[in-house]
Amino acid sequence: MAELSEDTKFQISIKTMVAIGVALATLIGMYYTLQEEIEEAKLLPEPPVSRTEYDLKDELVRKSIMNTEEKVEENSQKLDKIDEKLYEIIKK
3 state SS for the chain:
CCCCCCCCCCCCCHHHHHHHHHHHHHHHHHHHHHHHHHHHHHHCCCCCCCHHHHHHHHHHHHHHHHHHHHHHHHHHHHHHHHHHHHHHHHHC
Q: Can you give the pTM of this predicted structure?
A: 0.44
Give me the domain span that covers residue 29. Answer: 13-44
pLDDT single digits (tens) 59-77: 999 999 999 999 999 999 9
Count of domains forming the chain: 2
Q: Are residues 31 and 58 in the same domain?
A: no
Would you say residue 30 lies in a domain? yes
pLDDT single digits (tens) 42-65: 998 888 878 898 999 999 999 999
Q: Are residues 76 and 89 in the same domain?
A: yes
